[in-house]
Structure 1
Amino acid sequence: MWKPDRKSNQPLYQQIADDLEQRISYGEFPPGSLLPSERKLADQLGVNRSTVVLAYAELRSLGIIESRSGSGTRVSRTKWGATPKHTPNWHRYAEGGNFLPNLPFLRRIRVALEQDPSIIDFASGELAGDLAPIDEINAIMNEKQNTSYWGYDNPQGYMPLRQALVSFLKEYRGIHTTESSILITSGSQQSLYLITQCLLSPGDAVAIEDPSYSYSLPMFQSAGLRLFRLPVDERGVQPEDIRSLFKKHKIKMMFINPNFQNPTGTLLAEERRKKLLDVASELGLPIVEDDPFSLTAYKGTPPSPLKSSDAIGSVLYIGSFSKIAASGLRVGWMVAPHSVVERLADARQQMDFGLSVVPQKVAATFLESPFFDPHMDRLRSTLLYKRDLIIEVIQKEMPDLVEYHIPDGGLHLWCKIVPEVNDTKLLDAAIQRGVIFVPGSVYGSDSSYVRLTFARARTEDIHTGISRFAEALRSTLEIEN
């Protein structure tokens, strides 16, 4: 975001006025559109409100903006020539369409992170820079790449990457597949989007875990799907609940994250896995298995995916590099029957003509390189250290206020606030103190739950961040009581 230059000889208010005038002339704020309030713009730019008041006064004097009591400050409709011109009502367009915006809490978190890069981040579900194989990927990218053609690639994905994934999935996940049954995507969310748009229809009923990461994705509602919940306990979902939902609502598909589930970190019990596959087989019900965290298992052998025991092809298996390497690569995959892969590849080609071949080449080389296993060992040990550290600080700072499930893998700690708390007030109090998290209501839980992600925050910031969270929690509870 642009900020005024405090070293410039030009007054701050004049810099702000000039910037706004330019953005208005470029069409970023069309005639009639609402401008940020004086207080909000001052917060965004890091200046006093009085400075923004002067900037708005300057623009009003030029006839560029106009203010009305109760209606805020808007770009003038009459400044733009003698003949009245009608600008499209972009606000109405922006609020229209079928694709819903992110949940308000997620937009609030994104804005807070953009405005204050120093905030301690327990919200973002991605790896910190020191956990990603940056040096290894740079070494791969610096190697001479003999590429004779840079045109559109196969919409199903770069063939050498699909071939590398065949070996990778067999060795690390016990999944036997072929390159023709693999679709390369830009990550798990694109895989889910393609499934909801191409394999389901508006009005279809689907089952998701409760709580669930899927609940935080408006793409399900945008597709017109009816969501029904499968409660998650300390051993995962109950397979018989699926049978019940099928009888009641004729669900057409279920979405499951069985290994180190997001957000709870739970592991689907072994006996429930077999029963789940049996129920799905009996009902002819597809399972979408999202498996981003299995390889982060801190100790021992990573838990097997459902797909490795799928003898009849009930499971669509989704994975990505985001949680085990680098989210910026934007490389994920789906294992599915060839007819499904062809359908989704055709749809994806209509969207973007296929992914860039560059990150796919990097991913393929990384999977087959001697870098991969040492990276995973380092990742697991660091995540375990961070998990233990965040639990240690919680026990020290607020032992009577927070309960949690200790995960054996993944990036998150799912916490229950023992006294009920208003999550909106708690999030605001935390942001004011320079720390951020995701309220449990984002995932369909009540306001007593929060998700603290320990993979993103720097190790040296975890103690300070939890101390600030504890202070925000106590402050919120005092106000409410």
Structure 2
Amino acid sequence: MNDGSTSGELADSLRTLLSRLSPGDRLPSSRELIKEYRVGPATVARAIAALAAEGAVVTRPGSGTYVAQRARLRGGATDTDWQTVALTDRAVDTHLIADPLGPPPAGTITMDGGYMHRSLQPTRALSAALARAARRPDAWDRAPAGGLMALRTVFAQIVGGSVAPEDVLVTAGGQSALSIAFRAIAGPGSPVLVESPSYPRALAAARAAGLRPVPVPLDADGVRPDLLADAFAMTGARLLYCQPTFQNPTSTVLAPERRGQILDVARASGAFVIEDDFARHLGHGGAVPRPLVADDRDGTVIHVTSLTKPAAPSLRIGALVARGPVMERMRAVRLVDDFFVTRPLQEAALEVLSSPAWDRHVRSLGTALRERCAVLAAAVTQEIPGATLATLPTGGLHLWLRLPPGVDDTVLTSAARQRGVAVSAGSRYFATEPPAAHLRIGFAATADHAELTEGARRLGAALADLGPQQG
């Protein structure tokens, strides 16, 4: 090859060389290529750059050029097997939150979701709030990393007690808040105590952070303080995740006498309590207990709240409430993650929460949820007489149904889908083996009362389809 050879010709020659080498083999040095092919340094550099852009080689400054682990030469299919080794064993487990049956077909009555039907959402108020927010001169300016001070003030007022705006960190919804808290508080491999059953997306977030969920049983009054103390002692955990108000999936409310006991146990163990208060605005018309953080004086509680459930799925605005160094740690995590929550959405949330329409919406929503809950409970009792409702909820979006002995919840869930109704298998809500078969059945995502009744009928028919061995 003479001095007039182009970098393209050299690249072609090197491709022939690559076909005889194995992934990881080192190519001749630039000096050796210059000498062998009688070209200049610039020609070699351009040829190597072209091969690197194709993914055929990898350059390592100070070391040399190597055959890529996946030879993605012209016209060939990409081989990504190398990624299995590179990614090691840090897989993100989504089996508890992914639907194994896939999207339901058209006409399916949806009773497995965690969001409200559009008819229950304050869509007109949300649209008006977003329009007003977008018209503000500073709507597209950078938002403070901790969130708009006015919005933090509103969240502090909702929580109550001695919580101040400085104790609030605005997040992109409740799930983002949980992820931030889990990663900020405990290191990979650490245990985290969770109610049993518990919220699957929280279990998934904990595992994605490298934590080990350890279940603590619930009863009709919420998590048991005696078993909680045993779990802290046995595991050395420094973190409890719980939903004290209208727990998902059981709708249990932590009894008044236990609320202080839970905090006492956590303090004695030197542990934090993540209080997921997702259902603060989902009461069915009665009194809603004060959040644990409102009575926390020493920074034990990290409070999580969100507007997504009571408003709409895409109002991804939530908040973390905490005091002390743990808040500084969480602020640092969120700063690294995504810097800040988009300002127009924060402004829209502030518009919604500051409007009299929000209080009217919460009151009307409570009435609608209470009526739907009663309709579905009556229909389930009639259509599935062998099943047992743990409690008639006074808040939240779901019924927790214990199935008759011998029924497999995953089999029934699949059969129900065939009958045109989607419900959630109870086994998804347990960090370990479930003690019995359950279903979580939602009453907020359907169009009306008639769909609730029809959904219960279809569920009963699905159970009958399984025959005596399942019924």
Counterpart check, 1:279 vs 2:268: no
Q: Which has more radius of gyration?
A: 2
Contact persistence 1:182–1:335 (CA under 8 A): yes
Contact persistence 1:403–1:418 (CA under 8 A): no
Contact persistence 2:178–2:202 (CA under 8 A): no
**Equivalent in 66, 72, 89 of residue 81 of structure 2:** 89
Provide the C-alpha distance between the structure 2 equivalents of 1:361 and 1:119, rounded to a whole number of angstroms. 36
Q: What is the one-letter code of the residue matched to 1:187?
A: G
Counterpart check, 1:298 vs 2:284: yes
Q: What is the one-letter code of the residue matched to 1:208?
A: V
Q: What is the one-letter code of the residue matched to 1:153?
A: A
Counterpart check, 1:456 vs 2:456: no
Identity of aligned residues (%): 29
Cα displacement (A) at 1:395: 2.1
**Equivalent in 313, 319, 324 of residue 333 of structure 1:** 319
TM-score, normalised on structure 1?
A: 0.77
Counterpart check, 1:201 vs 2:187: yes
In structure 1, the partner of 2:92 is: 100
**Equivalent in 354, 367, 370 of residue 356 of structure 2:** 370
Counterpart check, 1:466 vs 2:452: no
Provide the C-alpha distance between the structure 2 equivalents of 1:449 and 1:475, rounded to a whole number of angstroms. 18
Give 5+ residue unaligned stretches, structure 2: 1-71
The structure whose residues are more often helix, as a share, is: 1
Aligned pairs for 1:240-319 (under 5 A) are 240-319=226-305
Cα displacement (A) at 1:292: 1.1
Aligned pairs for 1:124-163 (under 5 A) are 124-143=113-132, 145-148=135-138, 150-163=140-153
**Equivalent in 405, 416, 431 of residue 430 of structure 1:** 416
Cα displacement (A) at 1:295: 2.8
TM-score, normalised on structure 2?
A: 0.78
Provide the C-alpha distance between the structure 2 equivalents of 1:477 and 1:235, rounded to a whole number of angstroms. 35
Q: What is the one-letter code of the residue matched to 1:287?
A: V
SS at match of 1:208: strand
**Equivalent in 94, 105, 110 of residue 121 of structure 1:** 110
Cα displacement (A) at 1:153: 1.9
Counterpart check, 1:408 vs 2:394: yes
Inter-CA distance 92–119: structure 2 relative to 1 (3 Å threshold): farther
Deviations for 1:393-429, whole angstroms, at most 9, x for unmatched residues? 1122122344442111111100001222122221211
Counterpart check, 1:233 vs 2:224: no
Inter-CA distance 338–86: structure 2 relative to 1 (3 Å threshold): same
Q: What is the one-letter code of the residue matched to 2:144?
A: N
Q: What is the one-letter code of the residue matched to 2:90?
A: N
Q: Provide the aligned C-alpha RMSD in A.
A: 2.4
**Equivalent in 356, 362, 380 of residue 394 of structure 1:** 380
Provide the C-alpha distance between the structure 2 equivalents of 1:475 and 1:95, rounded to a whole number of angstroms. 44
Inter-CA distance 90–128: structure 2 relative to 1 (3 Å threshold): farther
Stretch deviating more after TM superposition (434-443 or 416-425): 416-425
SS at match of 1:354: coil
Provide the C-alpha distance between the structure 2 equivalents of 1:206 and 1:82, rounded to a whole number of angstroms. 49
Provide the C-alpha distance between the structure 1 equivalents of 2:262 and 2:458, rounded to a whole number of angstroms. 42
**Equivalent in 338, 342, 366 of residue 356 of structure 1:** 342
SS at match of 1:296: coil
Give 5+ residue unaligned stretches, structure 1: 1-79
Inter-CA distance 311–245: structure 2 relative to 1 (3 Å threshold): same
Inter-CA distance 257–285: structure 2 relative to 1 (3 Å threshold): same
Aligned pairs for 1:19-30 (under 5 A) are none
Inter-CA distance 83–417: structure 2 relative to 1 (3 Å threshold): closer
Provide the C-alpha distance between the structure 2 equivalents of 1:314 and 1:347, rounded to a whole number of angstroms. 19
Aligned pairs for 1:49-60 (under 5 A) are none
Cα displacement (A) at 1:257: 0.5
